[in-house]
Amino acid sequence: MEPNQGKRSHKLMTEELRNSIPKLYSTEHTPRAEKMAHAKFFCPYNGWQWFIVEFDGEDTMFGFVNGWETEWGYFSFRELAEMTVLNGVPAIERDLWFRPTPIEKIEEELSRVV
C-alpha cells in the first residue's frame, strides 16, 4: 500500500498512471523539447512541482522539478508519498486534471509566471 494512502482523498499513483509512464531511461535519446510529462505532483504548502517523465514502476522517477530552481533530476516516489505536514497531513498531491503535456510547453508556462 502507498504511504499516506488513507489520508488523502485520491491515490497518488493509480495502476493506470503507473502503466502509462515510460520506463526509466526509455526517453533518454528523445530531445528535451519532445519529452512529455505524464503526471504532475505538487506541494500546496510551498508551491513545488514535479513533472514525471519516466518511472521505474516502483520508486525512482525522472522528470522536471520546479522548486527553488527549475531542474531535471531523479526523485523517489516513496519519499514524495511519505512527506507530511501539520501532524501527518500528506504534503504532496497529484494534479488530477493534468494531462500529458510536452515539457517545452511547461517550461514556457513557468517562464511566464516568474
pLDDT in tens, 3-16: 656 666 778 999 99
Segments of the chain with pLDDT less than 50: none
Task: Check residue 114 and give its pLDDT.
Answer: 56
Contact between 4 and 90 under an 8 Å Cβ cutoff? The reply is: yes
Task: Check residue 10 and give its pLDDT.
Answer: 78
- Dihedral (C-alpha) 4, 102, 110, 45: value to the nearest 10 degrees? 0
Contact between 71 and 35 under an 8 Å Cβ cutoff? The reply is: no
Task: Check residue 87 and give its pLDDT.
Answer: 81
Q: Domain coordinates of the chain in residue numbers?
A: 5-113
Task: Check residue 52 and give its pLDDT.
Answer: 98
User: 87 in the Ramachandran plot: left (φ > 0), alpha (ψ -120 to 50) or beta?
Assistant: left
Task: Check residue 18 and give its pLDDT.
Answer: 94
Task: Check residue 41 and give its pLDDT.
Answer: 97
